[in-house]
Amino acid sequence: MYVFNTASRQTDAVGALHHLPATPNTVHWGYFDASIKPALRVRSGDLIRAEAVTHHAGDDPDLLMDDGIREIFTKIPEEDRNPGVHIMTGPIFVEGARPGDMLEVRYLAMRPRLPYGSNLAANWGYLYKEFDERERVTIYRFDDATQQAEAVYAYDYPGKYLTPGKMFRCPECDRQSALPGARVPCRPHLGTAGVAPAVNGRVSTIPPGAHGGNIDNWRIGANARMYYPVAVDGALFSIGDPHISQGDGELSGTAIEASLDVLFQVIVRKDFQFPSPLLETPGEWIVHGFDEDLDLAMRGASLDMLGFLTEQRGLSRNDAYSLMSVAADFAVTQVVDGRQGVHVRMPRSVFPPER
């Protein structure tokens, strides 16, 4: 009855392990581009240990940078960081991946590279006007033992935060205490990851879409599997925009932005298709809708979940609609001006055990 189940998976075999460090030669800043020379070539089933570097490391270069990160910020000129903002590691060419396939990415582990991250109340944040159009940085420290973060200090950002990767050292005297006693539960995840769209030239990393991109769902962490529709030969998969935590909505415009080391496996799937990035966690199936308008993002997510339940799980349209009303949870993934995201989560326990 069910088209999409674990038994139909082509392979659980693990291939070779590759290491992909983030260097000026293995990152592309602000864009996906199908014409970039691959930073790595792998086979379906291979494991990749890769570095994802935050483009917010300049918010406190002393705490958020090491030599490897600093080299990226100093060697890649500002004029080559566009049209988006995220530092993307890759692309990874996966042999055998063809347009029409799905690229399954099994995220296995995500660890902070340095124990610090930055949250920016940004000019693109949801309450920017309510905060008198001021921007502010709050630096957080990650505690590995508790998997919690606490604020270290905050400062008002001088000027407007427009150039990706600008470095600014806030003088000690301008640092303010922040969130005394508060501890944020950590959810290390990738804010942006995806395959190259079939487009000539650069595609901004900022708007999410069928290729993945800047989805900002904190559930894209260890133990999650993402399925991206492949658009070009080799898929050309890249990762970036690492976060140690954010809430659904990412209200201020950013998460706790912090570099992560990521271990994942890539698998080429030729046995099913899906029109948008599909997320599988141990407990849920999740689909995403994106639009400039929140209501239209909601509509997109609801129609894609309807498609998932009918095409991949064999339900009738009527059954799928009832099930979505009584069992699926809709949430606001992000609310940045011009790009709204809604996702919907269906518990896996609804369905009989997969054979």
Q: Which residues contribute to the site for its own copies (CB under 8 A)?
A: 1, 119, 121, 125-127, 130-131, 136, 138, 140, 149, 151, 154, 178-179, 181-185, 245-256, 293-295, 298-299, 302-303, 306, 315, 317-319, 321-332, 335, 340, 342, 344, 347, 349-352
Q: CB nearer to its own copies: give 47 or 296.
A: 296
Beta strands in 189-304 (DSSP E): 189-195, 203-204, 212-213, 225-229, 237-245, 256-257, 260-269, 278-280, 284-291
Q: CB nearer to its own copies: give 97 or 323.
A: 323
Q: In the complex, what is the shortest distance from the CB of residue 256 to its own copies, in angstroms, rounded to a whole number?
A: 5
CA distances from 218 to 110, 225, 347 (A): 12, 13, 17
Closest C-alpha to 266, from 47, 95, 102:
47
Closest C-alpha to 338, from 277, 301, 291:
291
And the tokens for 244? 């140690």
* Burial bucket for residue 222 (CB in 10 Å: 0-12, 13-18, 19+): middle
Q: Do the beta carbons of residue 217 and residue 332 sit within 8 Å?
A: no
Q: CB nearer to its own copies: give 47 or 331.
A: 331
Q: CB nearer to its own copies: give 107 or 155.
A: 155
Q: CB nearer to its own copies: give 108 or 114.
A: 114
Please report, as a single letter, which amino acid is at residue 260. L
Q: Which residues, listed in sequence order, are joined to residue 156 by a DSSP beta bridge?
A: 136
Collapsing DSSP states into helix, strand and coil, what is residue 309?
Answer: helix
Q: CB nearer to its own copies: give 107 or 218.
A: 218
Q: In the complex, what is the shortest distance from the CB of residue 81 to its own copies, in angstroms, rounded to a whole number?
A: 23
Q: In the complex, what is the shortest distance from the CB of residue 203 to its own copies, in angstroms, rounded to a whole number?
A: 26
Q: In the complex, what is the shortest distance from the CB of residue 136 to its own copies, in angstroms, rounded to a whole number?
A: 6
Q: What residue has token string 């269906």?
A: 346
Q: In the complex, what is the shortest distance from the CB of residue 177 to its own copies, in angstroms, rounded to a whole number?
A: 9
CA distances from 108 to 74, 113, 312 (A): 31, 16, 24
And the tokens for 98? 């063809």
Q: State residue 135 phi and psi, 5-degree precision.
A: -110, 150
Q: CB nearer to its own copies: give 12 or 354.
A: 354
Q: In the complex, what is the shortest distance from the CB of residue 314 to its own copies, in angstroms, rounded to a whole number?
A: 10
Q: In the complex, what is the shortest distance from the CB of residue 118 to its own copies, in angstroms, rounded to a whole number?
A: 10
